Amino acid sequence: MEIKIEDLKVLFSEEQIKAKIKELAKEMNDFYKGEEVIAICVLKGSVLFMSDLTRELNMPLKMEFIRLSSYGSSMTTSGKVNAVDIKLPDLNGKNVLIVEDIVDTGLTAKFLIDFIHMNFQVKTFKFCSLLDKKITRKTDVEPDYYCFDVDDKFVVGYGLDYDGYFRNLKYIGYKE
C-alpha cells in the first residue's frame, strides 16, 4: 500500500493533541510533586510527543533517548524488538517515565519494561504513550498514561511514520 498526504483523514487534530497533552501533564505534575524525573523518549516515533509533553512538565527533568525498532517498512510488526541504541545512565532510585508513540502489540513496551526492571531498581516507573491500540495487543501491558485510544487503524503523523514519512505532520491521520 502507498499512502499519499492528500488521502489522509484527520483522526486527532493539532488542537486536540495539544489539549490532551496539557491534561496529561497536569496529572503528571500532580503525581510527581516536584520530584526529579528521567523522561526516556523512544525514538523515532515519540520525538514530537516528547518535546511537547516535557515542555508542560514542571519538575526537574532529564531527557534520555533510546532507539528500538520492531517495524520494518511494512505496516505490521515484525514480532521482535531490536535494541538499536539503548545506552542509559544509572537509573537506580530514579523516577523513570517512558515516552512512547503507540502501544500496539505491546511487544516494544514489554521489552522496555523488562529491560529497565532487569537492570535498575527504579524509584517509580511509568509508561506513557501518545496512543493506545488495545485491539491488536498481544501482551498484558497497559500504559499508565495515554492520550488517545485508536482502533485497528494504521495511523501516521505527529511522530508516527509510514516508511519514514509523515512524522512531521501536526495532526494524527489515517487512510480510509
Candidates 99, 105, 146, 157; binder of ligand IMP (CB under 6 A) is 105
Residue 55's contacts (CB-CB under 8 Å, 6 or more residues apart) are: none
Which residue lies nearer to ligand IMP by CB, 54 or 157? 157
Confirm or reject binding of residue 108 to ligand IMP (CB under 6 A): yes
Candidate segments 8-16, 23-31, 58-66, 155-163, binder of ligand IMP by CB under 6 A: 155-163
Task: Report, in Å, the least distance between residue 33 CB and Mg ion.
Answer: 29
DSSP assignment of 86-143 equals ------TT-EEEEEEEEESSSHHHHHHHHHHHHH---SEEEEEEEEE-GGG--SS---
Residue numbers 101-160 binding Mg ion by CB under 5 A: 101
Which amino acids are annotated catalytic?
Answer: 104
Residue numbers 41-100 binding Mg ion by CB under 5 A: 45
Is residue 6 within 8 A of residue 129, CB to CB? The reply is no
Task: Report, in Å, the least distance between residue 155 CB and ligand IMP.
Answer: 4
Confirm or reject binding of residue 54 to ligand IMP (CB under 6 A): no
Is residue 66 within 8 A of residue 58, CB to CB? The reply is no
Helix axes 47-54, 14-32, angle to 10 degrees: 60
Contacted by 116, from Mg ion, ligand IMP, none: CB < 5 to 8 Å by type: none
Binding site for Mg ion (CB under 5 A): 45, 101
